[in-house]
Amino acid sequence: MRVNKPEYREAKGFIAEVVRTNRRKSADIRVEEGAVTVVVPANTPAERIDDLLTAKRRWIKEKIALHQEMAPASSKRYVSGEAFSYLGRNYRLKVEKGPFAPVKLVQGRLVVSVPQGSQQPHMIRNALIRWYKRQAELKLKEKVARWAPQVGVEPTGVAIKTFKSRWGSCTAKGELQFNWQIMMAPNRMVDYVVVHELCHLIRHDHSPEFWGQVGRILPDYEQSRDWLKHNGHRVSAL
């Protein structure tokens, strides 16, 4: 459980997101999708966090480099004026030079502040991923709360994940898991994915009965399913 809003620490060549929690007694550094997160006990001093990042700097840089080598080639340059899709609408990126500040949607622009240097595109990409994940956490929970009563189910929880080839999943324990990249698709596609996973709480297959449940809530679901099938690779490119 987070007890404060995330904070950030600048290091040489990367930005680390700090998550303070009462559930940990020791620090844990993670590098996921090239983004660095350090989870620490709630009262950990900032100086202690800086010392941890310095001590693990080589390992962190190796993890980041490995991700960059394995990541699919992107046409994005992460420069001002470039368009990024959010719920089907394009928003222009505005890059400001200075101390790191996370992405904010301001007057129709995605604004981010990062230090100048060779790692700037990497930092901007990670800042955008963090922003999309936060939006996913907020919006998808709202949509689950909206659609669940109509489907007639109660999921045990909602989690945001990174999936390579699917938009969502329903666990055996009733937790719904969603790929944060769905936030780049039009709003009705997001609704379809939410309803799809909610219906899996009734049927854990793709039988005619399952699709009947989806169709009961979204009569035109086939349009959304086909749209994602043919356009999903484009909206998820970051």
Q: pLDDT band for position 71 (50/70/90)?
A: low
Q: Provide CATH code, domain 136-235.
A: 3.30.2010.10
Report the C-alpha gap between 35 and 60 in whole angstroms: 10
Kindly report, residue by residue over 106-142, the tens digit of the pLDDT.
999 999 999 887 678 888 998 999 999 999 999 999 9
The residue extents of the domains of the chain are: 7-70, 83-131, 136-235
Measured from the Cβ of residue 25, the count of other Cβ atoms closer than 10 Å reads 7
What's the confidence (pLDDT) of residue 197?
98
Report the C-alpha gap between 194 and 48 in whole angstroms: 41
Report the C-alpha gap between 70 and 50 in whole angstroms: 28
pTM over 0.85: no
* Closest residue by Cα to residue 218 from 40, 227, 230, 26: 227
> Is 181 within 8 Å of 165 (Cβ atoms)?
no
> Is 121 within 8 Å of 95 (Cβ atoms)?
no
Crossing angle for the helix pair 187-199 and 208-217, nearest 10 degrees? 130
Kindly report, residue by residue over 180-201, the tens digit of the pLDDT.
999 999 999 999 999 999 999 9
Q: What's the mean pLDDT in 31-60?
A: 92
pLDDT of 222 strictly over 90: yes
